[in-house]
Amino acid sequence: MKFGNRYWLNEESVRELIDARHITLTEFAATLGVSRAYLSQIVNGRRALTPKARRALLVVFPGDESRLWRVERPAAA
């Protein structure tokens, strides 16, 4: 069975963007509409981004898609 692409947060870039805005991870989570726990999991590479989280990131950081995440494509069958 093949699954679609998985999107992983680019931790370093996102931390730079958060720092530039002078906000905490808790404030950033609220801005994205996700829990602090979920944000921690995606920032630390334990969970892939959901489509909702990707859309929220693009609203907060428009035009930065290539800096925000990396794509993991499924292996060819």
Query: 25 or 63: which carries more pLDDT confidence?
Result: 25
- For residue range 9-48, what is the model confidence (pLDDT) as tens digits? 888 888 888 898 899 989 989 988 889 999 989 888 899 9
CATH topology of domain 6-68: 434 Repressor (Amino-terminal Domain) (1.10.260)
Per-residue buried b or exposed e for 32-66, using 16+ beta carbons within 10 Å of the residue's own CB: bebeeebbeebbeeebbbeeebeebbeebbeeeee
Q: Where are the domains of the chain?
A: 6-68
Phi-psi sector, 22: left (phi>0), alpha (psi -120 to 50), beta: left
Query: 69 or 76: which carries more pLDDT confidence?
Result: 69
Q: Is the pLDDT of residue 73 over 80?
A: no
Q: Is the pLDDT of residue 61 over 80?
A: yes
Where helices occur in 1-77 by DSSP H, the ranges are 11-21, 25-32, 36-43, 51-60, 65-68
pLDDT at 1: 46
- Whether the full predicted model's pTM is greater than 0.85, yes or no, is no
